[in-house]
């Protein structure tokens, strides 16, 4: 589609209109509203998303990507970031950046105000991510996802 005219500008009103809801299936308290900003503009390798977590809800789940860089910039509200086993209260203007292989992290909103942040990172063809509290590893190739138990990993050697 080399001749397809790509969008380059999304107005704030369109960003609101494109809002979707989501939740991580392994965390019953996960609940988000958000807009994928890069996708309508044709960005393929770079993700940028506007996310909103309602009071007393959580973003996704504690996780650590092996391959994809990721970042978060808080726009409004407050949240609790769990990063590598410690908790930090974060608010407007705070930035989090997770180089690879990532330490495990998670963002939740135990406060009474909506937490709004911009987040993004790499969209790689293949990703490996760990979910330490569920003891699971995710292998994603394109859009195909498979889950393994971390404890099922064997070393390479005689079977």
Binding site for a copy of itself (CB under 8 A): 6-12, 15, 25-26, 37-38, 40-46, 48, 50, 66-67, 69, 71, 73, 75, 81, 83-84, 88, 90-99, 101, 103, 105, 118, 120-122, 126, 128, 134, 136, 138-139, 141, 145-149, 152-159
Greatest C-alpha distance within the chain:
60
Dihedral Cα 92, 87, 69, 140, nearest 10 deg: -120
Select 54 or 118, whichever has its Cβ closest to a copy of itself: 118
**CA separation for the pair 71, 82 (Å, rounded):** 14
The residue among 56 and 149 lying less far from a copy of itself, judged by its C-beta, is: 149
Question: Given the complex with a copy of itself, which of 54 and 139 has the nearer CB atom?
Answer: 139
Output the smallest distance, CB 32 to a copy of itself, in A. 17
Question: Closer CB to a copy of itself, residue 110 or residue 126?
Answer: 126
Tokens at 88, concatenated = 């930090």
Shortest approach of a copy of itself to residue 96 CB, angstroms?
5
Half-sphere exposure of residue 71: CA atoms within 13 angstroms, side-chain side: 12
Nearest partner of 60 among 4, 138, 156, 158, judged by Cα: 138
């Amino acid at each position: 589609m080399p001749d397809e005219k790509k969008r380059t500008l999304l107005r704030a009103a369109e960003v609101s209109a494109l809002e979707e809801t989501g939740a991580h299936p392994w965390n019953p308290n996960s609940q988000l509203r958000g807009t994928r900003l890069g996708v309508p503009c044709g960005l393929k390798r770079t993700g940028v998303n506007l996310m909103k977590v309602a009071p007393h809800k959580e973003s996704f789940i504690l996780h650590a990507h092996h391959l994809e860089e990721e970042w978060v910039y808080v726009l409004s509200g407050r949240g609790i970031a769990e990063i590598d086993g410690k908790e930090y209260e974060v608010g407007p203007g705070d930035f989090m950046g997770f180089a690879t292989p990532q330490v495990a992290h998670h963002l939740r909103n135990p406060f009474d105000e909506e937490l709004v942040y911009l987040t993004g990172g790499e969209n790689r063809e293949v990703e490996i991510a760990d979910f330490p509290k569920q003891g699971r590893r995710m292998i994603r190739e394109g859009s195909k996802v498979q889950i393994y138990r971390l404890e099922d990993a064997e070393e390479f050697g005689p079977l």
